[in-house]
């Protein structure tokens, strides 16, 4: 799917403010649209904001310590999509990430069929490429 069209399918982040926290109330739905485990996406938010987050499984919500505006959280999600969802070659949504037996990080695109070394250097890769 073309990246603009893909982004339109992702629900806008819905937030609720609490004392010392902000809660993303539709977090599980967003993760499922991205075909990601919410726990893993939660770790990315924690990594990107540098703050503690906790995924509340039974509610499908993410709690983040501190105050963040919807726009700031959308930017984090955008960062994740750019790194791990869109193909670096054709920029369509549809890559699969995997590790080769020698430990190298690779991606495979279902749209343009490219199979190549994952090009984005990011400290979060060690978590993202873990099964």
- CB-count burial class (<10 Å; 0-12, 13-18, 19+) for 111: middle
DSSP string, 48-110: HHTS-EEEETTTTEEEEES---HHHHHHHHHHHHHHHTB-TTT--B-EEEEE-TTS-EEEEET
> Is the CB of 52 or the CB of 115 nearer to Zn ion?
115
Interface with Zn ion: number of residues (CB under 5 A): 6
Q: Does 14 bind Zn ion (CB under 5 A)?
A: no
Residues 16-75, interacting with Zn ion (CB under 5 A): none
CB of 108 to Zn ion, least distance (A): 9
Q: Which of 62, 83, 87, 128 binds Zn ion (CB under 5 A)?
A: 87
Binding range to Zn ion, per CB under 5 A, among 19-27, 47-55, 79-87, 115-123? 79-87
> Is the CB of 1 or the CB of 69 nearer to Zn ion?
1
């Amino acid at each position: 799917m073309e990246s603009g069209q893909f982004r339109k399918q992702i629900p806008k982040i819905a937030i609720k403010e609490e004392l010392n926290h902000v809660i993303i109330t539709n977090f599980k739905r967003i993760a499922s649209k991205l075909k990601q485990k919410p726990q893993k996406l939660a770790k990315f938010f924690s990594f990107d904001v540098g703050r503690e987050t906790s995924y509340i499984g039974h509610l499908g919500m993410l709690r983040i310590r501190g105050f963040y505006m919807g726009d700031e959280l959308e930017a984090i999600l955008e960062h994740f999509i750019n790194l791990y969802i869109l193909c670096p070659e054709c920029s369509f949504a549809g890559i699969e990430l995997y590790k080769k037996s020698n430990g190298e990080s690779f991606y495979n695109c279902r749209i343009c069929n490219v199979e190549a070394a994952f090009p984005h250097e990011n400290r979060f890769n060690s978590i993202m490429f873990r099964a």
